[in-house]
């Protein structure tokens, strides 16, 4: 079940016109913020990214304080769960008026499965470091990513690990990845055009605080041959042990456990 739906701050039945840009063109951006006991984790960071995404799409957002109040109202209602915000351009049909929309609602969201198994999928649609207008923006055009998830499931895995056409590891369809080599946490660099995941950012901060060495760079899939443990990072997964990538397998490791415990403290 979902919470009250707010559209531009007004209570709505959740209906939007079929002419809306999000429906016809996927021309919209979004954020998902996890609420813990009514408190949104890293709300400012999520709003910062939403402003960046909307700016890249040239969609004007309402006043930040007003937007924050809409998000908090839904967080208060959902208590423990996801607060979703979708920003659309409005009508995409010439001659039909339609203002831009900020849609905010929430729903329960339990933690992901204890572990995950990933299937490597080449992602030719991914910018992979090429400079383009929407690089790093969290836009709603996720069909290619979700197609890779289906390909992974059809291959007997839980989700996908996206690879560039040249073989660099990138990210999951809806999450970031990291791994440990000789006690060092490694993760793909943002220079590859992967999403600047808020969870990834928080986890890397915690790793530095705990005295762990962190390297962001470019690696092929073969780098995982040297890894002692692998993890997936996202709002829903938090810090999730990854026990397989293709035919490579691992047990959940101590660094993943340490970072998961540190992240859990941030949610209190």
- Domains of the chain listed by start with CATH number: 5-107 (3.30.470.10), 116-266 (3.20.10.10)
Angular region, 58: left φ>0, alpha ψ -120 to 50, beta rest: left
Closest CA to 212 of 183, 178, 233, 182: 183
- Burial environment of residue 13 by CB neighbours within 10 A (0 to 12, 13 to 18, 19 or more): exposed
* Residue-level pLDDT at 1: 87
| Phi, then psi, of 61 in degrees rounded to 5 | -95, 155
Instruction: Retrieve residue 64's tokens.
Output: 């930040």
Q: What is the pTM of this model?
A: 0.94
The strand pairing partners of 32, in sequence order, are 84
Instruction: Retrieve residue 257's tokens.
Output: 């456990």
Instruction: Kindly tell me if the per-residue pLDDT of 111 is higher than 80.
Output: no
Mean pLDDT rounded to a whole number for the chain? 96
Please state, as a whole number, how many other Cβ atoms lie within 10 Å of the Cβ of residue 56: 17
Tens of pLDDT, residues 230-241: 999 999 999 999
Query: Predicted confidence band at 267 (pLDDT cuts at 50, 70, 90)?
Result: very high
* Residue-level pLDDT at 213: 98
Tens of pLDDT, residues 178-221: 999 999 999 999 999 999 999 999 999 999 999 999 999 999 99
Tens of pLDDT, residues 127-156: 999 989 999 999 999 999 999 999 999 999
| Phi, then psi, of 13 in degrees rounded to 5 | -85, 5
Query: Predicted confidence band at 14 (pLDDT cuts at 50, 70, 90)?
Result: very high
Instruction: Retrieve residue 228's tokens.
Output: 């002692």
| Phi, then psi, of 123 in degrees rounded to 5 | -120, 80
Instruction: For residues 176 and 250, give the distance between their C-alpha atoms in angstroms, rounded to a whole number.
Output: 18
Q: Are strands 81-88 and 214-217 parallel, antiparallel or unpaired?
A: unpaired
Instruction: Kindly tell me if the per-residue pLDDT of 112 is higher than 80.
Output: no
The strand pairing partners of 147, in sequence order, are none
**Buried b or exposed e, range 163-184, using 16+ CB within 10 angstroms:** bbeeebbbbbbbbbbbbbbeee
């Amino acid at each position: 079940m979902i919470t009250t739906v707010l559209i531009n701050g007004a209570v709505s039945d959740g209906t939007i016109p079929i002419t809306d840009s999000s429906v016809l063109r996927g021309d919209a951006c979004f954020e998902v913020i996890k609420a813990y006991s009514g408190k949104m984790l890293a709300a400012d960071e999520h709003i910062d990214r939403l402003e960046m995404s909307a700016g890249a799409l040239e969609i004007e957002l309402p006043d930040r304080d007003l937007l924050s109040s809409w998000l908090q109202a839904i967080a208060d209602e959902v208590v423990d769960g996801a607060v979703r915000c979708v920003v659309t351009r409005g009508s995409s049909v010439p001659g039909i008026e339609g203002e831009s929309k900020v849609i905010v609602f929430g729903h329960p969201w339990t933690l992901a499965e204890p572990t995950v198994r990933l299937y490597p999928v080449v992602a030719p649609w991914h910018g992979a470091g090429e400079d383009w207008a929407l690089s790093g923006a969290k836009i709603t055009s996720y069909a290619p990513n979700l197609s890779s998830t289906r390909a992974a499931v059809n291959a007997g895995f839980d989700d996908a690990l996206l690879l560039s056409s040249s073989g660099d590891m990138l990210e999951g369809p809806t999450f970031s990845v990291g791994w440990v080599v000789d006690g060092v946490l490694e993760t793909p660099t943002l220079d590859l055009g992967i999403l600047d995941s808020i969870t990834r950012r928080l986890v890397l901060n915690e790793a530095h605080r705990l005295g762990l060495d962190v390297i962001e760079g470019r690696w092929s899939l073969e780098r995982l041959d040297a890894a002692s443990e692998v993890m997936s990072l996202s709002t829903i997964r938090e810090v999730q042990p990854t026990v397989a990538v293709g035919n490579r397998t691992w047990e959940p490791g101590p660094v993943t456990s340490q970072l998961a415990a540190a992240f859990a403290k941030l949610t209190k």
